[in-house]
Amino acid sequence: MVDGERIQKVLARGGIGSRREIERWISEGRLKINGNPVGLGDRLKEGDRLFLNDRIVNWEKFVEQPTRVLLYHKPVGEVVTRRDPEGRPVVFTQLPKLAVSRWIAVGRLDINTSGLLLVTNNGELANRLMHPSTQVEREYAVRILGNVSEATLARLKEGVELEDGKAKFDDIKFYGGEGANKWFNVTVAEGRNRLVRRLWESQEVVVSRLMRVRYGPVVLPERLKARTFYELNDKELELLFEFAGMANEKPAINAKPESKAHKPGKR
């Protein structure tokens, strides 16, 4: 790092925020190097003292920070937050501890939705995968009560008006079922809050179970049980970087991943 590395790149790698967020902090004067306000093109060099909101940032530990991505199988009942004022279990307590940085959830799943949750320590990767412009497909397995007419399915694919604008399923596939329960797999390309449930409910269809099974190119492994995770290997990371439009930023190799599949102890 002879000429240094851009501040936003270093901090995004460490999970402090996305590059876009960090650029905003720079424009707001919240970052300083050696006591001087930071400019957008400024680079960090060995020995520089970096401050965010007048608090020192130990940025050196982010320089060679390897990117890690976990596929976590979230169960119903856990919330995607670091702390919950109601004392409900949170997903982050189920993940391995990081020596530096922190885990960032790629999108959210509400408390009643289970399935695939991606978490990473790379803030820029997380931002790319969540940004609306990326149009990342999310696929869900949905169990509903009762029968659904072809006309209803057609409306859901054409688009219906919700309180926050028009929305639709990009694809709907029937997966069978017995008695009152029917299974469908649906795909959406945006991450609005409770979107899948709200689309079905707009047609007075009751959703009794909802599980995310895919996020972009990443599929929930069939053998991955609830409250367990799988860590992407180096080849899988490279493919995910390529999907996110970061092919030129080959991830640093995590030479000794903590685990491939893991079940935390009982709470």
Tell me which residues are annotated as active site: 110
Whole-angstrom distance, CA of residue 110 vs CA of residue 84: 13
Q: Which residue has the tokens 């970052």?
A: 31
Encoding tokens for residue 93? 């307590």
Query: Helices 19-27 and 123-130, interaxial angle, to 10°?
Result: 110
Instruction: Extract long-range pairs of 18-21: CB within 8 Å, 24+ residues apart.
Output: 18/123, 18/124, 18/126, 18/127, 19/123, 19/124, 19/127, 20/127, 21/123, 21/127
Whole-angstrom distance, CA of residue 48 vs CA of residue 54: 14
Output the DSSP codes for 34-62. Answer: TTEEPPTT-EE-TT--EEETTEEE-GGGG
